[in-house]
Amino acid sequence: MSLDCSSASVIVAGDVMLDRYWFGDSTRISPEAPVPVVHVQRTRDVAGGAANVAVNAVNLGVQTTLLSVVGDDHDGRALQSLLESRNVHCAFVRDPALQTTVKLRVISRNQQIVRADFEQRPDHELLFPLVAQFREKLKTCKTVVFSDYGKGGLAHLRMMMGDARAANACILVDPKGPDYSIYRGASVVTPNRDEFAQAAGKWNGESDFERRAFKLRDDLELGALLVTRSEEGMSLVIGNRHVRIPAQAREVYDVSGAGDTVIATMAAALAAGQDMESAARLANAAAGVVVGKIGTAPITLEELNRHV
């Protein structure tokens, strides 16, 4: 079941960030505090959040437009340059008063030692131009991904959801927080296990999980619900079926960005004409590849097609 996205296009809207990695060795404990001293030997910047979703989609051969807000700062320019080098079309609003979100991870011997986050929420009114751009893009693209990291970049999501539904677009949502009412009417919502528990409550056994999943899907009038469940694989709730998709059996090094890969692959497959179950199985295969990499690392079409 290989994937051909040569004629597919998607819009990605949401919270973008720069994932910064410092790699080094650690052989001693600091004399100042009981923490390791890492001798940083190399650094790497990669796209994170909704930006990572966009890179994943482009890697799969999809024409991708990314809508978001960044600061008018060095990190914002670095992120845009990185994305444009990957052929992502960036439709960014720049705010001089905003700090571009950066997640800094210090890695030693393939282990994350510490993460430092630099972020602030954008002004609500600043985001209005994104809505106008979104409406314009909907005229030619009918597959939409909302990547919600809870950083404030989707302050006008209700309005954008309404526009997407009115345009009969396929709407995919990577959710955040306990209240999913804002995602009502989406084609598919893709929470991980913990995010699902936040919205639907903790479950006791598989039958209780299934009951809660169907209830959440029905209450929100979703086309489908896809819950990623780590080593338990994925659960796709669609129609009257609960489709269980087993996890890919390979070693897990880092789950950073796995959710981004899942929703990007789902969007690419649906935009290319695949049905929901086929798209979910492709997304599961893609997730199995990226968790075997260190750090936020997107899938490639060649990797995906080798594993399906």
Residues carrying an active site annotation? 260
Please give the Cα distance from 288 to 262 (Å, whole number).
10
Q: Taking Cα atoms as reference points, which of 99, 4, 105 lies closest to residue 45?
A: 105
Contacts of 105 (CB under 8 A, 6+ apart): 19, 20, 21, 22, 112, 114, 115, 256, 295
Contacts with 23 (C-beta within 8 Å, 6 or more apart), sequence order: 40, 41, 42, 43, 44, 107, 108
CB 195 within 8 A of CB 225: no
Pairing of strands 16-29, 36-49: antiparallel
Q: CA 42, 304, 18, 141 torsion: positive or negative?
A: positive
Instruction: Give per-residue burial for 270-306: e unless 16+ CB within 10 Å, then b.
Output: bbbebebbbbbbbbbbbbbbbbebebbbbbbbebbee
